[in-house]
A and B are shown apart, each in its own frame.
Chain A
Amino acid sequence: MYLYDELDRTLIAERVGEFRDQIARRLAGELTEEEFKPLRLMNGVYLQLHAYMLRIAIPYGTLSSAQLRMLAHVARHYDRGFGHFTTRQNIQFHWIKLKELPDAMAELASVGLHGMQTSGNNVRNITTDQWAGVAPDEIEDPRIWAELIRQHVTLHPEFSFMPRKFKIAVGAAAQDRAALRIHDLALRLHRNGKGETGFEVMVGGGLGRTPYLAQTIKPFLRKRDVLSYIEAVLRTYNQFGRRDNIWKARIKILVHDLGAEAFAKEVEAEWQSIKDGALALDPAVIAEMAARFRYPDYAPLDESPPALADARRADRRFDAWMSNAVAKHKIPGYAIVTLSLKPEAGTPGDCTAVQMEAIADLADRYSFGEIRVGHEQNMVLPHVAKRDLPRVWRALDAIGVATPNVGLVSDIISCPGLDYCSLANARSIPVAQEISRRFRKPELARELGRLHINISGCINACGHHHVGHIGILGVEKNDQEFYQITLGGKADDDAKLGTLIGPAVPYAQVADAVETIVTAYLELRERPDELFVDTVKRTGIEPFKERLYAAH
């Protein structure tokens, strides 16, 4: 966990005070809605279909049990008893009243939580691997870098009114669990030929109306230069990014229009002029930041406790969950446990106040008080002793977060869609719910293996449909909801955008279409362990297309 000090807390409190005053000025008519809008957005406040929505940042996906309890409290007292975890390691409350917002924010601030820069044309919440600090395949904890960057871009005097939002992700593991290439800017910590660690810098990724994968503009950046280089990228974008058309304002369009090479040159020239200035990170600064991340006092434990093997033999449901939701921890005797927020017929990413409190209690008892939130809209208990797994499972099962579907067909990533969002063209949640009903049998889901379905209710692509193995995009045709389906997208280290399979299908046929596609996969795959996405890669979309449009 990162330990907030007096300075961090003071800044958040001052921000709440400022926003309280801005709301008062809006209510008194001193600010027009046009003037107020960017100010509320900078504090994570959207106006949605039914009410104001408050989006709270969970920097790099790490929460303390005290913070999770506070989220439960806000859900209960200011909302309707639940919150929604998003694809960017944030949580949203959809039913907040404007006049109560400052009080909710002040309560959140008391545990170091805030909505700063979860919206608006600034640098958004910095995301990373939800297994940061515990994954066996990482070089070092990427959160140290995420926090250095987070602080640097918070209320940045130069970059608070950019052409459009700006999303940064940091990864440090062999496997990309942070969807790096779909970010405006991504940093991948790696080792160069000389054994030194530094960052690969990628820019210009993003989904939405014009999807692009980020391109590498600097293969190896020294750690001392990370803030100055980001500053140079942001400055280049702030000056030259388009502001005449909101659909062309993201950095991906600038990078594409200039070409990655010309863009990199522009950044390089700017960077050369600032890299040895105040932003050069000296080792003392990096060490101070690293020292503020505290790690659990792990006990020497048995990596394979006999009681665990017994429990697996004794209970098939427990065994299935173990195979699905439990991953290897870097410390022997411990495990990383994923909590599925995707129950059958549920709303992906929703979590009730009761569940949050129970999870906070479990974290205190079994995971050193720490919880993680991932971009797949699931939660994680990052440090569970393996001997405790049977007890933890029973407790998670009792509150409905032990569905053994992590990474499987019903672990659907979805935006809130037309049920909540004023931008959406079509519903997302009922589509996800229906698909999860069709594939509710765990044996079938296991048989299908890893299969990511991503659903967005409009072209803004909050559900990352372009990088779903099966991507579903809601569109509107003559006042009817239709859904375009893409196949073969991936958000991992070999990221790829999906290919459109054919004409959009109506709302009532989406789940049928997914079933047809999945059945086709079972026939087409060469071996049981050939993943869906690999079959699509091998065969192309044609055989899927034939079956889908013959059937419907």
Chain B
Amino acid sequence: MPLIKAGRIVEDRYVRVDDTAPIPDRIAVIVSAERFLAEPNALVRRDGSVGVLWPNDRRVAELEPWLGHLALVALAFPKFRDGRAYSQARQLRERYGFAGELRATGDVLRDQFLFLLRAGFDSLEVKKPADAAAFAQVIKRFSVFYQPSADGRLPAQRRRLSGLAAPRDDCIAGADSMLQEA
């Protein structure tokens, strides 16, 4: 499964460790939520980055005390239609100030890329190689956004107030060029 980080397909430096397997030293690992919460102090003190795979039906508030020590939080999309992790991502970034890597895992398709980046994810485990290859093209698809969000782009309303877009009196102007583009 290709991993996209900082806009590129990269090697995954993390190893997923099963709940019963020993944790290797000096290697970046991802462990389950249960395992992490069973021994959080030991895990964050070990030599090597620690990430946790957090399920989408558990409040991220539980992770708050450890967020400063976690290098990565992976959130789950068991199905593409199940969007709970978008809310978790925004809470982690915006409410709890998590600054580490925020990874989307599971049923991650190209049609979610922009939503994911805008919700605060910065790494994506992509299900289909063709989708990963199309990343650069897909994220350029939209240039206008209505909401303030994690990627820091100015929403439309702010652009209007700063005079970057003036209302025009008819909504037909520009139609020809748009039809050609479309």
Contacts and interface: CB of A to CB of B under 8 A. Distances in A.
Interface string A265-291: 000000001100111000011001100
A407 interface: no
A20 B182 contact: yes
Contacts of B132: none
A51 interface: no
Contacts of B159: 7
Interface residues of B, number: 50
A152 B167 CA distance: 18
Interface in B117-149: 118-119, 130, 141-149
A529 interface: no
Interface stretch (A153-161, A338-346, A471-479): A153-161
B182 A157 contact: no
Given A7-B156, A66-B172, A157-B86, A35 B80 contact: yes
Interface in A156-178: 156-162
A5 B116 CA distance: 27
Given A106-B178, A110-B178, A111-B175, A5 B87 contact: no
A288 B83 contact: no
B178 A13 contact: yes
Contact of B181 (A7, A17, A107, A279): A17
Contacts of B21: none
A157 B167 CA distance: 25
Given A10-B144, A277-B94, A3 B181 contact: no
B12 interface: no
Nearest to B127: A35
A499 interface: no
B144 A7 contact: yes
Given A158-B90, A288-B161, A112 B171 contact: yes
Contact of B84 (A20, A151, A238): A238
A8 interface: yes
Given A7-B159, A121-B81, A288-B161, A155 B146 contact: yes
A152 B179 contact: no
A156 B142 CA distance: 13
B166 interface: yes
Nearest to B180: A106
A64 B149 CA distance: 32
A64 to B, nearest CB: 7
B160 interface: yes
B14 interface: no
A155 B119 contact: no
Nearest to A112: B171
B167 A3 contact: yes
Contacts of B86: 157-161, 238
B102 to A, nearest CB: 13
A2 B110 CA distance: 33
A38 B146 contact: no
Interface in A26-79: 30, 35, 38-39, 64, 66
Contacts of A152: 146-147
B169 interface: yes
A109 interface: yes
B152 to A, nearest CB: 11
A64 B109 CA distance: 38
Contacts of A66: 170-172
B27 interface: no
A6 B182 CA distance: 15
A11 B144 contact: yes
B18 interface: no
Interface in A423-482: none
Contact of A14 (B59, B143, B169, B174): B143
20 contacts: A3-B171, A7-B159, A10-B144, A11-B142, A11-B156, A13-B181, A13-B182, A14-B143, A17-B182, A22-B111, A110-B172, A110-B179, A154-B146, A155-B142, A159-B86, A160-B115, A239-B59, A243-B84, A279-B148, A285-B161
Given A14-B143, A35-B80, A235-B91, 19 more contacts: A3-B167, A6-B174, A7-B156, A9-B178, A13-B182, A14-B144, A17-B141, A22-B111, A38-B80, A102-B182, A106-B179, A110-B175, A157-B150, A158-B83, A158-B87, A158-B115, A159-B86, A235-B90, A292-B167
Interface of A: 3-11, 13-18, 20, 22, 30, 35, 38-39, 64, 66, 102, 105-107, 109-112, 121, 151-152, 154-162, 235, 238-239, 243, 273-274, 277-279, 284-285, 288-289, 292
Leading 8 A-B pairs by shortest Cβ distance: A161-B83, A110-B175, A157-B118, A278-B148, A11-B144, A106-B182, A4-B171, A13-B178
